Amino acid sequence: MSAAPHSMQSPDARLLGSSRAMERVRELCRRVAPTRTTVLISGETGVGKEVVAATIHRMSSRRDKPMLVFNCHGVPESLLESELFGHERGAFSGAIHARSGLFERAHGSSLLLDEIGDVPLAAQAKLLRILQERRFERLGGTATHEADVRIIAVTRYDLRSLVARGKFREDLYYRLNVFPIHVAPLRERREDIPSLATHFLRETARRHRSRQATLSDQAMTLLISFHWPGNVRELQSVIERASLLAAGGVIDERHLPPEIVRGFSPPREGEKVTSLRYAQRLIVQRALHEHAWNFPAAAGSIGVSVHVLRQLIASLGIRRDEKPPDVR
């Protein structure tokens, strides 16, 4: 458990991907960034919610100050309130000195509240007051402080479900849900995998000061076909490991984990199983449709050669007069 806040202003935090889902996320970021509106970012673990938050901050007028980040998961209620609101001397046992909280230190900037669904109910009431009135008191204090802070909340939960179960305040949910942004899991935007993989190859080479590895067509096909239960974070780990194993050369199936080479990972409970052939067909169909059947452009968008694209069209039985099922 870590309650320590940290600065988060990565210059290379970018929203990569050509899928409609990511185009929508980028558009929402552009619209909300210039405002001080509270943002609620939802999505599974590992999809890149923090990158979305960093992008909003970087595009805002508050970008000259670092965005502060606080992970609410597993933090005791007393410590959480002290970290967020600060405390006065003698407010509790061990409070030898007065200390400012995150809302004071983030004045004029943005504050990312990670895993907002884990905040205890008692502390939720204080968060609600800040969102409503933009003011607060330190723990054990009486002086009121103004809070010029842009709140960006992040959650892996369905907060509406928590509200229905009495674990999250309904009024706080509506205050947070002013501008919701949902980040889709990687398995629902497989066309983003090539650009993400290329980015992670470049980052791995930079971080380890080594030659940049490349992906064979076969390896790229395997990556696109995989289910990715750990989402973008899992893809990043797989790419880094494969890059080191390939020693700056060409990554093929020998350098990938067995579950990816087998082309299967167990679906999550209650999730519909989609065949790999259907997933591949959908990705190729979308690429061809979006690039008007321009083979070099379509092949480049999914990270394969024109030769491999032609093979996929033939083996998957794709016809030019056939649109992807999600295109009308």
Mean pLDDT of 175-191: 93
Residues 230, 237: Cα–Cα separation, whole Å: 10
Instruction: Judge whether residue 88 has pLDDT over 90.
Output: no
Going from N- to C-terminal start, the domains of the chain cover: 6-184, 187-316
Q: What is the pLDDT of residues 43-55, one digit of tens each?
A: 999 999 999 999 9
For residue 272, what pLDDT band results from cuts at 50, 70 and 90?
very low
pLDDT at 71: 92
Mean pLDDT of 96-115: 89
Provide, rounded to the nearest whole percent, the portion of the chain with pLDDT above 70. Answer: 88
Give 6-184's CATH code, choosing from 3.40.50.10360, 3.90.1150.10, 3.40.50.300, 1.20.1440.130.
3.40.50.300
Residue predicted with more confidence, 78 or 236: 236
Instruction: Name the nearest CA neighbour of 156 among 108, 115, 186.
Output: 115
pLDDT at 81: 81
Query: CA 282, 287, 290: angle at the middle one, nearest 5?
Result: 120
Which residues lie across from 144 on neighbouring strands?
Answer: 137
Provide, rounded to the nearest whole percent, the portion of the chain with pLDDT above 90. Answer: 48
Residues 83, 104: Cα–Cα separation, whole Å: 10
pLDDT at 183: 96
Mean pLDDT of 156-177: 96
pLDDT at 91: 63
Average the pLDDT over each of 53-62, 74-83, 92-101, 302-311 and give the range with the smallest value. Answer: 92-101
- Hey, which bits of the chain come out as E strands? 6-8, 39-42, 67-71, 86-87, 99-100, 110-114, 135-137, 144-146, 150-155, 179-182, 214-215, 250-251
pLDDT at 328: 52
Residues 62, 67: Cα–Cα separation, whole Å: 8
Mean pLDDT of 23-34: 94
Residue type, 257: P
Predicted TM-score of the model (pTM): 0.77
Judge contact between 56 and 32, C-beta under 8 A: yes
Instruction: Judge whether residue 265 has pLDDT over 70.
Output: no
Instruction: Name the nearest CA neighbour of 234 among 268, 273, 210, 200.
Output: 200
Average the pLDDT over each of 3-12, 148-157, 293-302 and give the range with the smallest value. Answer: 3-12
Q: Hunting for tokens 């000259």 — which residue is that?
A: 64
Q: How far is C-alpha 263 from the chain's CA centre?
A: 24
Architecture of domain 187-316: Orthogonal Bundle (1.10)
Residue predicted with more confidence, 259 or 239: 239
Mean pLDDT of 56-74: 93
Instruction: Name the nearest CA neighbour of 130 among 146, 111, 154.
Output: 146
Helix or strand run (H / E) with residue 235: helix 231-246
Fold: same for 6-184 and 187-316? no
Mean pLDDT of 148-173: 95
Backbone angles phi, psi at 57, to 5 degrees: -65, -45
Mean pLDDT of 34-44: 96
Instruction: Name the nearest CA neighbour of 53 among 76, 70, 77.
Output: 70
Which residues lie across from 181 on neighbouring strands?
Answer: 41
Residue predicted with more confidence, 203 or 141: 203
* DSSP label at residue 183: P
How many alpha carbons fall within 13 Å on the CB side of residue 314?
A: 6
3-state SS, residue 122 = helix
